[in-house]
Amino acid sequence: MSWYAWGDPARATPLSDRLRGLVAQVLGAELRDLPPVAEADVRMPASALPPDAHAALAAVVGAAHVRTDPAARLRHAGGRSTVDLLRRRSGDAEDAPDAVVLPADHDGVLAVLAACAAHGVAVVPFGGGTSVVGGVEPLRGRFGAVVALDLRRLDRLVEFDAESGTAVLQAGLRTPDADALLAGHGHTLGHLPQSYEYATIGGYAATRSSGQASSGYGRFEDMVLALRVATPRGTLALGGAPGSAAGPDLRRLFLGSEGVFGVVTEVTVRVRPLPDARHDEAWSFPDLPAGAASLRRLARLPGPPTTVRLSDATETFVNAALAGADRADPPGGAAPPPAGCLAVVGFDGTAADVSARRAAAGAVLAAAGGTPLGTGPVADWRHTRFRGPYLRDALLAAGVLSETLETATTWSRLLPLYEAVGGAVRGALEGPEGGVLVLCHVSHTYPEGASLYFTVVAPAGADPVARWRRAKRAAGDAIAAHGATITHHHAVGTDHLPWMPAEVGPLGAEVLRAVKSALDPAGVLNPGKLIPPAGD
């Protein structure tokens, strides 16, 4: 991945003149170019890794796999949040790790953790580096040095069990590679977050990830049958049976643990046969309440759609406008972007199953006031699904702040929460710098509720980092005030830590600290993430 942007630098595309003009017009602000500094001009301190710690790490993974060169350290200096990218674009890598360590297997991870605990070096587990909440920020805590523990060499399909419908995957596997390996056995994972191209199996487990097809395949945690975890005190092998009453499910301690208790090295997952058929369709609703009501009814069907997503009127309008502006030669007299709210639904499975679920869903959508639009809008959405982060890069380069935030709540609280978060963000950002666009969609539906995913676009202003932090604080406070979760699938990291005391309560925070103390008594694993400090 690029050191200052998302993904493959060869796929980066600047804003077209037409799109640049459209953005400037909508925001009421003059855009200004904010190019990144040259890599040679990035500010980075010398590595503070003590020689004895360096020697101990080299002894367990090999000298070639302890990287202290600036290029490796820069590319592990954080995740891919807008704040991360703004810092690096400006040349700030002051918090880069002191080394990047690349073990080859579970035993190598154990040995690295033991060496770091013995030498007082903090360890930040690093998969695809796609965190947008500060989850892989290389914080030192009370230690003098920190290393990024890169798991890319743990990239194997360890076992495929066709009879049981399970697979054992190493934690460093990127999703496209995992799916390619599973496809060789006629199966798929079915996990498709926007970070799909770069995120890893271990990262999904550590953050309780959720993908676009969660309505059909489930959240990633629902796919996990067993875990193998390396901790500073040894190995934990958890789960394996499809169900158990042998006390509390200790797997749950590590699903969402963000590397603060241990490092997930292998994940046994439930897999599904590759679908024989797929059908997508789009529907339009006059407003968000009508569309949300239809999604609630879909979520309670015996066989809901595999993919469900409903854009509010602003997101529907903006996405259509962007698609039109992105065309080299838009047809004369083209229809304006649609009014109302666009829903996309998709079905995977056998031909008979897809046909039956499609008919049931169509009846629900029509009864709720939906108008069918055919397959075209969904094809456009799927085609551009993984381009969103590249568009954010182009906006940042043009002096436009662009970032996302997400939450989840029950159906009865969904629309009040939607209004509150949007109002809080607009209140924090609107002003002399220009206007703000707040887009939102409903996805990841459950019988009890759903997720809200917001995209915020505003002029960067003189201090874009401060502007975004102000908006994030306002949004987080609104989310907490409405009793919603501070994060549905982005995880906690550093960004959501201020709201964790309210999320888990004082006793819950004490339990998390007790688990941390039991598994990582030296406190070297991913300091400053997930766990509220004592006294908060």
Query: Among 109, 53, 99, which Cα is nearest to 72's?
Result: 99
> What is the C-alpha to C-alpha distance for residues 352 and 115, in angstroms, rounded to an integer?
56
Q: DSSP assignment, residue 274?
A: P
Which of 4, 196, 390, 453 does the annotation list as catalytic? 453
Count of Cβ atoms closer than 10 Å to residue 250 Cβ: 14
Amino acid present at 254: F
Q: Are 459 and 400 in contact (CB under 8 A)?
A: yes
What's the full length of the chain, in residues?
A: 536
Compute the CA torsion angle 34, 37, 39, 43 (nearest 10 deg): -120
Is residue 198 flagged as an active site residue?
A: no
> What DSSP state is assigned to residue 375?
S
CA dihedral 31, 37, 43, 46 (to 10 degrees): 150
Measured from the Cβ of residue 196, the count of other Cβ atoms closer than 10 Å reads 18
Q: For residue 147, what is the enclosing H or E element? A: strand 146-150
Is residue 31 within 8 Å of residue 458, measured between CB atoms? Answer: no
Q: What is the DSSP string of 310-374?
A: EE-HHHHHHHHHHHHHHSSSPPTTPPPPPPSEEEEEEEEE-HHHHHHHHHHHHHHHHHTT-EEEE
Question: Using the 8-state DSSP alphabet, how is residue 36 labeled?
Answer: P
Could you list the active site residues?
453
